[in-house]
Chain A
Amino acid sequence: MKMHRKTLSALYIVLLLTLATLGVHNQQQFRLQHSLIQEKDSQHQRLAELRGMAASITSPLAVSQWAASSGMIPATEAGDFEQVTPLTSPEPIPLESGLEVRTVWR
């Protein structure tokens, strides 16, 4: 009976200490998670703000307004165009046979 009580007491102490350790660890994890969520939230907000700032310069509406204020017009309204590159690729010169060997004597 004495041994049994001693074992239970020891087990109780061990479990109590384990519980306390887990509690502390849990608290630390909780605080870490909380701070990470806040960080994620602020990063999302920051991303949205940065995207908005970028859009104020690069969005289709901003680009369109900038182009118009800079005196640009749609290409179709320019009226005078020149095609400076060939419309089609140059035709390759066909070989006389499928295999051609050239020997150069020096």
Chain B
Amino acid sequence: MALNKKSGSPTQLYLARRYLVLMLAVVPLFAALGGFVRQQLQLPTWPAPMAEPIPRGRILARDGTVLAEGAASYRRYPQGQLASHLIGFSGAVQPDGRYGLEGLEYTYDQRLQAGEPVVTTLDPTLQAAAERHLRDAIIRHEADNGAVVMIETGTGHVLAAASYPSFDPNMRETRTQAALTNRAFLQQYEPGSVMKPFVVAALLESGRLRPDEVIPAEMALRVGSKTFRDVAQHDSHLAVPDILRYSSNVAMIHLSDRFTPEEQHAWLRHFGFGQEMGLNSIFTRTGQLNHWQHWVPQDKASITIGQSVSTTALQLAAAYSIFANDGLYIPPQLVVGEKLSLPKRALSPETALAVRSMLVYTVEESSLRNSKIPFVSVAGKTGTADIFDQASGRYIDGDYTLGFAGIFPAENPRITMVVYLQKPRNGTMSTLVAAPLFRAIGSEVVAHWGLPLNALTYVGQP
């Protein structure tokens, strides 16, 4: 049946309209889909695979040198080994949500994940000098390990903290257990004679010793089951500065008799030994100072000369900085803006100055000339200590810790520095091993400041 072109049957018209409406609705839809297909586009999956790499804040030295940067997935350490023990490193995300695995990367993980930078107090030039000279000294003396800590007077800023063996956080294969240990902050060692100035300072401060006293100093003394001997030959009686100059164990033990064990223990804790460092930015250790009630007679004598007590290089440097800070104990600081306890007065300025003068005398008059830094005065003390082996429970014959702790310039202190090497096969005297290391690093520090005026021979006036 032919349809009327104008009208057609109502049913057909109705169907035709429906068909038209359907086509108008469906065709554009297919056209749109066809467009997607023709452009070879894909519908986005959900969630969209466009997440940016997880950002991570940078770790900087105080002069802005970049020590760590990059997102968690490609973290880089542009300075390589420099300060690697402090910076640590990060890796894959851990079950607790952290990316940091060691050092500041671990302790400041939350802040770094927020994309905020961490600015350290480190001076890269001084850190480099400390690391290079420490490594050279360890290789030269065939030592097992060592550490250096350098603290700025007045602020407590840690300017350098080197440990050896070391590692490059960019290279996984260098991350051995021995290399990862931050010895400057974590390795507890018996410091030896560098402890002696603290006993002298405590006696002076408590009024139990006058600086001009003369003390008996035989060459050997038996205390309890142990005989203590002096190494350097000296007179039978020594003035207080000469006790430090000759590092007389016997005279020091006589001096310590003026304290009860309880008092001596309290004074050593007063200087920070056996105490938390209060540094929140990184792990530290307290050192070991047994309670006085557990001391046997020879323990008190041993502790006086820096044995049977352990410390870390950081703790010892912080304690020595009391002499540099005119008697104030200023907590060490590694990260700018870190909340620390307030400085406390540990000694009167007079006592601090008196001990500093004795330490200058010790360097100037003894065989410690190896520790003298050209054009600046040094106040310092060596320490040679036997190494206690935890496994066998006894001291190891022939293995020593050779250390030096010092302050410079002595008349206007700017730096307190502690260095030590352990188990050197070549060299057994601190004066020949640790003191030259102190000088080598100290010289670089002074050169970094610029030559002092007293170094210059003035010639010519226009």
- A24 near B455 (CB under 8 angstroms)? no
Interface string of B260-285 (1 = CB under 8 A from A): 00000000000000000000000000
| Chain B: minimal CB distance from A92 (Å) | 14
Within 58-81 of A, Cβ neighbours of B (below 8 Å) are at 59-61, 63-65, 68, 74-77, 79-81
Q: Mark A23-34, 1 if CB is under 8 A from B, else 0.
A: 110011011011
A51's partner among B76, B444, B456 (CB-CB below 8 A) is: B76
Q: Are A20 and B457 in contact (CB under 8 A)?
A: no
Q: Check A76–B455 contact: CB distance below 8 A.
A: yes
Q: Which residues of B contact A13 (CB under 8 A)?
A: 24-25, 28
B316 at the interface (CB under 8 A from A): no
Residue pair B35, A83 in contact (C-beta under 8 Å)? no
With A81-B457, A82-B456 known as contacts, the answer to whether A76 contacts B451 (CB < 8 A) is yes
Residues of A within 8 A of B451 (CB): 75-76, 81
Task: Tell me if B50 and A30 are in contact (CB < 8 A).
Answer: yes
Across the interface, name the chain A residue whose C-beta is closest to B82: A61
Quote the shortest CB–CB distance from A44 to chain B (angstroms): 6
Size of chain B's interface in residues, with CB distance under 8 A?
57
Question: Of B104-112, B122-130, B394-402, which binds chain A?
Answer: B122-130
Q: A44-B70, A82-B459 are in contact. Are A55 and B35 (CB under 8 A)?
A: no
| Complex contact A41–B53 (CB within 8 A) | yes
The reply to whether B460 and A90 form a contact with Cβ atoms under 8 Å apart is no
What CA separation (Å) do A24 and B21 show in the bound complex?
A: 25
Complexed CA–CA distance, A52 and B168 (Å): 12
Cβ of B81: which chain A residues have Cβ within 8 Å of it?
61
Q: Is the CB of A59 within 8 A of B446?
A: no
* Contact call A86/B457, Cβ cutoff below 8 A: no
Complexed CA–CA distance, A48 and B69 (Å): 7
In the complex, the chain A residue whose C-beta lies closest to that of B449 is A76
Does B79 sit within 8 A of A, measured CB to CB?
A: yes
- Point out residues on A near B: beta carbons under 8 Å: 5, 9, 12-13, 16-17, 19-20, 23-24, 27-28, 30-31, 33-34, 37, 40-41, 44-45, 48-49, 51-52, 54-56, 59-61, 63-65, 68, 74-77, 79-84, 86-87, 90
10 CB contacts below 8 A, A to B, read A20-B32, A27-B44, A28-B41, A51-B69, A52-B76, A64-B129, A82-B457, A82-B459, A84-B460, A90-B462
